[in-house]
Every structure is written in C-alpha cells, then in structure tokens.
A and B are shown apart, each in its own frame.
Chain A
Amino acid sequence: MTQDIYVIIEHLRGQVSDISYIMLAAARELAQSTSGKVVAVLLGYNAKGLAKDFATDQVLYLDHAALADFTSDAYQKVLSDLIGREQPRAALFGNTSIGSDVASVLSMRLGLPLVSSCRNFTKDGKFVSQICGGKIMAEGDLPAPTALITIVPGGYQPDQGRSAESPSITEAGVPALDALRVTLSKYIEPEVADVDISKEPLLIAVGRGIQNKDNIELAEALAQAIGGVVCGSRPVIDQGWLAISRLVGKSGKSVKPRIYFALGISGAPEHVEAITGSDTIIAVNTDPVAPIFNVARYGIEADMFELVEVLTEQVKAAKG
C-alpha cells in the first residue's frame, strides 16, 4: 500500500493524448495532499520513448507485443495485476474510449471504489466530479483504500502535465497475455472531407450579421489562428456561404464545444436549443437585447468586423 497516485497513460498510433497530460497535472495536485509520488503507467510495445515529456516523479513501463495497441481485455489484465499488487492510493484513468473501458471493470474485479467524471481535486484532496450535462457538481473525500478515478478535461491544462526533463523509467513485469477475447483488426482513418462540428471543442459560429460570403474569411482566419472550426446558423447555410455540414440548429447539428464563439447570431430558440451543451458561450452582437445574451456567459456589444480582425492578430501573437 502506498500513497502514490498512478496515471494510466493513453496513447494512440504513437501519439500521447492530451488527457494523459491533464491527468498528470491532476495527479500532481492530488499527490500533494496524500504526500505520495506521481507515477505514470505506460503500457505499450517498444514505446518507452513516449514518456519523454511526462511531468511525473516516475514512469512504470510495461512492455508486451499484445500492448502495441489498446484493447480492453489486455489493458484490464495488466492493470488489475499491477494495481492489485502495488495498491496505490489512487489510479487515474481518462474518461475516454480507452480509460472508461478499463476503470469500471477493475472496480468490480478488484473490489475497489470508482469515481467517474472527475474534473479536478481540491487543495485538501477531495474529488470534484461533474454530471448531468455539467449541471451538477459532486464533491467528496477520496475513497479508500485505492480510489479508481476517471478524469474529464476542464480542470487542468495539458501543458501543466508536460516537463522539459525526461523522467526516470522503470520496467515492470507483465502477466501472461494469451487467450485475449478482444483483438484489434485495423484502424479506419476519418474522411478528410469535412469536420463533424458536433465533436469539435472550439467553434466560431457566424450568423446573419456576417452579411456576405467574403466575410466568412474573417471567421476562417480567426478559426485557423485559434485552432477552431467555423460553423453557422440557418441563414448563413441557406445563402450557401457554408456547407450544410456546418449548420448548427434545430434542423442541423447540436454541438457541445468547450467554447462557442457566436458572431452576429441573434439567438433564436431554434438555434439556441442546439448550443445549450456548450461549456462557455461568448456572443458578439450589435443588438444589446439580442436573445443570445441571455444564454451566453460573456457578451460583447460590438461590430464583429472590427473585433474579429484585432482578435485574430492578438491570438496569433499569443501563440507566438
């Protein structure tokens, strides 16, 4: 039994995902209250190099051919063996297609308590989870003896989990991995054709206020600078200024980005109903009583054209 905080690293096709770094940052915060170490747990095949920028006290690397790609069965076996043996104070998993396939199974297999959708930890080591579409927060003491926790983004930034110094890596033993019930056949790349705005975290939305097709370029430039995607309300799509795949609204897609930046959108119910899942809505409109200001978290009463150009430049400068 230790006071250490394990972080189960997620990687796909040679890339460590952002959630892994977010978890490392979260683990650092939690470790302060348990007075334990942060231990990054990396499963893979010839994949030690992936750990080079982990902000962690130690890396446990478990190598096996069957771990070259994620499959639920293999990860469950390896991690139940490791966690059952080492008994850390907590093990953090991503609340993702990888982490969620493992954490719940381990909870039942090892008889360990499980907290899901955890966004952050408090200074005194409590978990804070968000449920019900972000409408409800639940806070509580870290359950004992080993808390299995799935982490959602929002509480920490990936950069907080990155380090310039490469951490020390220890290899750990892997149990037999034969007779696996889940095997990977192949990956299928997404079509490059167009984006699925319902899965995008950062949306720049344009409404009627954009006035004409040429001005869409302004929004595109901002989107490029900040790493977002342009979408629009009904009138913009009707005019043919954006493809129908970019339509946000009752007859288009519902979106749930971290940020919905609405330019020249009035906020008609048919549009608003499709954006209520957004974490933060920021609206720019010349009309001070536009309904969008009743659902936006931040509002700017201004002409979008003046603002967007200046903003794009400042964003580029900030990114360096």
Chain B
Amino acid sequence: MNIVVLTKLVPDLVEELAIDASGAALDLAFARWIINEFDDHALEQGILLKERGGGTVIVVAPDLDGADDVLFTAAAKGADRLIKIKGDFIAANNHALARTLTAIIKELQADLVLTGVQAHNDLDGSVGPMLAECLQLPYVGYVSGVSINDGKSAIRKEYPGGLLAEMEVTLPAVLGIQAAEQPPRYVAVSKVRQAMKDFHIEEQDASDLDPGGAPEVGRMFQPEAASHAEMLTGEPAEVAEKLVNLFKELGVL
C-alpha cells in the first residue's frame, strides 16, 4: 500500500501579514512558513493507515523555508520516504503546484494520495482535487475517516451540522482530509533530531510552474480592524434595539 501525503507550507498567521508594494499580493519576504494545518491531519491519517494495515508513507513538500523541519517531523512520526520539490514556490499557486506534482506523484505509483482539503491562503481552489484531475483519479474532499478494504477505500465525508456520509472510492484515489481520526500526534524534539540523523531528504526538480487558471488580483487589502470596540450606549432598551439592527446587518436575524 503506497500512501503519498502531499503537504503545503503556508504563511503563519501568528505573524502579521502585509501587502507588498504592488498592492496586489502578500509581502512574503519575512513570512514564517508552517505546515498547512489540514496537511498535518492528512499526515496523521496516513500514519494511522500504515499502523493499521501496513504500507509505505511517502511525504512530499515544496521547497520553502521550514520544509526540512516538516519532513523530518513526518519521519519521526513514522513516514518512510521524504521528498522535497525544488523550485520557486513562494508565489506559486495551486494550479501550478498541482501540475508540477503530477509527474512526480505518477512515478511514485501511489494507491492513495492524502492532502489537506484546503489551506487558508487558497485563492484558486485547492491543490488536492486539481492534482486528482491531472492524475485522472477520483477525488473526495472533507474526509474525516478512511479505511482500506481490498482495492477500495471506505471514507467518511463531513457535511454541515455533524451529518456524515459513508462513501466508497475506487483506488487509486486522492482524498482531501478535513480531520484525521485522531488529532495529530506530538513528537518529541529528541525524536525529530534523531530523524535528522537517520533520514535523508530526496530532492526532485519541479517542472515549469505553470500558473494558468488562477484569477488575476487587482488589489489586496486588509479589512478595517478596530483596536478597540465601538461602544454602543444608551438605556437597555435602546442598546437592545441597536443590537437587533446589528444582528440584522450581520445576517443572523
């Protein structure tokens, strides 16, 4: 069972985001890159499948600052092979990423490709379904449970309000993970440091990063943020009226 986990690194929102000089893109010069939270779940799901039914877990990450840490941490959790894609990924969109990964993933002969269902900086869709289409594989997203039974995958798909759908997907397939069956495990720093000694990161070159299919952004801006609440004043009845109007404005009444 060859399980490929595709990870993306995204700008860490703990650091304040800035718009660059063009006014139409993020200033990523000083961005801190962290693993997309949903990809962390995809990795956890991959490791769980390996622990349950055997197989190989191959983790792939694009070459951004922090990719090595993501890969070695994955190894410390139980991944078998680590692949880093070399190329300029700072401004690469999901279309480009999906296209460039196609040849690499094809070669890995994956039975199952797991990746996070979305990432917070997605503006042109998600990489999982686009990669599935490039590979001509079926795709299901918002998956929170996966099991493999002879050549087919039984998955749980999440709908709003806690409703779940159990579906069957023929393998090989690409799944967009919403949540792993258990929260991503903690791995001790000492284990990651050991993995740095025991594992080797394979490097593969990205083919041309063709970004076609993404929208052109005319401008990017930050919504107005107040540093202090706008205070609503008056007698209780007056304030209540203001609140009712506010609720209507915000679409909950």
**Chain B residues with Cβ under 8 A from A20's Cβ?**
none
**Chain B residues with Cβ under 8 A from A126's Cβ?**
218
CA distance A112 to B125 in the complex (A): 12
Which listed residue, B141, B154, B221, B248, touches A101 by the CB 8 Å rule?
B141
Asked whether B166 lies within 8 Å of A188 as measured between CB atoms, the reply is yes
User: What's the least CB distance linking A291 to chain B, in Å?
Assistant: 11
Contact code string B136-177 (vs A, CB < 8 Å = 1, else 0): 001111100000000000101111111111111110010010
**Chain B residues with Cβ under 8 A from A183's Cβ?**
167-168
**Chain B residues with Cβ under 8 A from A111's Cβ?**
212-213
Which listed residue, A117, A185, A310, touches B122 by the CB 8 Å rule?
A117
A319 touches B (CB below 8 Å): yes
**Chain B residues with Cβ under 8 A from A182's Cβ?**
138, 140, 167-170
User: What's the least CB distance linking B132 to chain A, in Å?
Assistant: 7
CA distance A313 to B168 in the complex (A): 49
**Chain A residues with Cβ under 8 A from B11's Cβ?**
132
Interface residues of A in 76-90 (CB under 8 A from B): none
Asked whether A136 lies within 8 Å of B220 as measured between CB atoms, the reply is yes
Known: A97-B142, A116-B124, A181-B170. A143 touches B236 (CB 8 A): no
Counting contact residues on chain B (CB < 8 A from A), the size range is 35 or more
CA distance A52 to B231 in the complex (A): 43
CA distance A279 to B247 in the complex (A): 13
B120 touches A (CB below 8 Å): yes
Which listed residue, A137, A181, A319, touches B138 by the CB 8 Å rule?
A181
In the complex, number of A-B residue pairs with CB atoms less than 8 Å apart: 250
CA distance A154 to B231 in the complex (A): 23
B133 touches A (CB below 8 Å): yes
Asked whether A138 lies within 8 Å of B250 as measured between CB atoms, the reply is no
Asked whether A116 lies within 8 Å of B166 as measured between CB atoms, the reply is no
Asked whether A302 lies within 8 Å of B162 as measured between CB atoms, the reply is no
Q: Is the interface of A mostly helix, strand, loop or mixed?
A: mixed
B26 touches A (CB below 8 Å): yes
Known: A134-B223, A298-B229. A311 touches B166 (CB 8 A): no
CA distance A130 to B217 in the complex (A): 12
CA distance A30 to B246 in the complex (A): 26
**Chain A residues with Cβ under 8 A from B229's Cβ?**
281, 283, 293-294, 296-299
B188 touches A (CB below 8 Å): no
Interface residues of A in 109-144 (CB under 8 A from B): 109, 111-117, 126-127, 129-141, 143
B103 touches A (CB below 8 Å): no
A211 touches B (CB below 8 Å): no
Most buried by B among A13, A113, A306: A113
CA distance A153 to B133 in the complex (A): 27
Interface residues of B in 212-227 (CB under 8 A from A): 212-223, 226-227
B43 touches A (CB below 8 Å): no
Q: Which residue of B lies closest to A97 (CB)?
A: B142
Which listed residue, A71, A100, A300, touches B126 by the CB 8 Å rule?
A100
A196 touches B (CB below 8 Å): yes
Q: Which residue of A lies closest to B161 (CB)?
A: A190
A189 touches B (CB below 8 Å): yes
CA distance A137 to B156 in the complex (A): 32
Asked whether B133 lies within 8 Å of A105 as measured between CB atoms, the reply is yes
Known: A109-B133, A319-B253. A185 touches B167 (CB 8 A): yes
Which listed residue, B162, B218, B237, B243, touches A139 by the CB 8 Å rule?
B218
CA distance A71 to B231 in the complex (A): 48
CA distance A103 to B133 in the complex (A): 11
Which listed residue, A97, A185, A202, A318, touches B248 by the CB 8 Å rule?
A318
Query: Given A138-B219, A196-B162, list of 4 further CB < 8 A pairs?
Result: A105-B130, A116-B126, A130-B223, A301-B231
Q: Could you show 27 A-B contacts with beta carbons less than 8 Å apart? A: A12-B163, A69-B165, A97-B142, A100-B117, A101-B129, A104-B128, A104-B130, A108-B129, A111-B212, A114-B213, A116-B123, A132-B13, A135-B17, A135-B223, A138-B217, A143-B215, A184-B165, A185-B166, A187-B166, A199-B161, A226-B252, A293-B229, A296-B229, A297-B230, A300-B239, A301-B233, A318-B247
Q: Which residues of A contact B (CB under 8 A)?
A: 12-13, 17, 69, 71-73, 96-97, 100-101, 103-105, 107-109, 111-117, 126-127, 129-141, 143, 147, 150, 153-154, 157, 181-191, 196, 199, 201-202, 226-228, 258-259, 279-283, 293-294, 296-302, 306-307, 310-311, 313-315, 318-319
Q: Which residues of B contact A (CB under 8 A)?
A: 11, 13, 17, 19, 26, 94-95, 98, 117-118, 120-126, 128-130, 132-134, 138-142, 154, 156-170, 173, 176, 212-223, 226-233, 236-237, 239-241, 243-244, 246-248, 250-253
